[in-house]
Amino acid sequence: MRAFRAAVEAHDMDAVEALLAEDVVFTSPVVFKPYRGRAVTAAILRAVERVFENFRYERAIGDPDGRDHALVFTARVGDRELGGCDFLHLDEDGRIDELTVMVRPLSGAQALQAAMAAQFDRVTEEAREDRTPSAG
C-alpha cells in the first residue's frame, strides 16, 4: 500500500493513523494476543517509530490494486539488525483493518521486545488520548 509506506517513510504518524480502520487488528511479532482498535495500534506504531533505527522498506509485494499487501523492511534496534515484513489487509473503504508484523532473527525480535517493553507506559497513555483524525 503506497500511502502507508509513504507515511511511514516520511515519519508522518498522523497520516499512518488516518489510514487505520477504527476496528483494526494489530498482531505483534513479540506478543501473542492481538491488539484491537485504532488508538492502541497507532500508539504502538508511534513507539515502534521511536525504537527502530535506520528503518527502511526494501520492497513491496502484492497487487497494487488488491486488498492484501506485504512490505519487506530492515531496521536496527540497539545493536541488533533485523528484517521483517508488514502484512496489511484493507477493508472495503481502503483502510487497514489488519496489520501483522513479523521479524527475524530471534535476537532482533528479543531486542525489539525489550525496547517496546520500555515504551509500554507511554503506549498505554497515548492509546487513551483521543488522537482520532478529524473528518474534514
Does 133 fall in a domain? no
- Per-residue cell: 130: 483521543
pLDDT band at 12 (very low <50, low <70, confident <90, very high): very high
- Whether the ω angle into residue 133 lies within 30 degrees of 0, i.e. cis, is no
Residue 136 lies in a domain: no
Q: What pLDDT does residue 135 have?
A: 46
Is the residue at 50 inside a domain?
yes
For the chain, the domain total comes to 1
Residue 57 maps to a domain: yes
Q: What CATH code is carried by the domain that includes residue 84?
A: 3.10.450.50
pLDDT in tens, 113-123: 999 988 888 88
> How high is the pLDDT of residue 136?
44
Distance of CA 83 to the CA centre of its chain: 14
Domain membership flag for residue 134? no
Task: Report the percentage of the chain scoring pLDDT > 90.
Answer: 78
Across residues 2-24, what is the average pLDDT?
A: 96
pLDDT score, position 132: 54
Tell whether 98 is covered by a domain.
Answer: yes
User: Starting from the edge strand earliest in sequence, which strands make up the sheet with 53-61, in order?
Assistant: 35-36, 20-27, 96-104, 80-90, 68-77, 53-61
Residue 135 is assigned to a structural domain of this protein: no
| Average pLDDT, rounded, for the chain | 92
pLDDT tops 70 at residue 131:
no
State the residue range of the domain holding 65. Answer: 2-128
d(CA 106, CA 134): 39
Q: Which three cell numbers stand for residue 117?
A: 517493553
pLDDT of residue 91 exceeding 50, the answer is yes
Model confidence pLDDT, tens digit, residues 20-30: 999 999 999 98
User: What is the structure's pLDDT at 53?
Assistant: 95
Domain assignment present for residue 15? The answer is yes
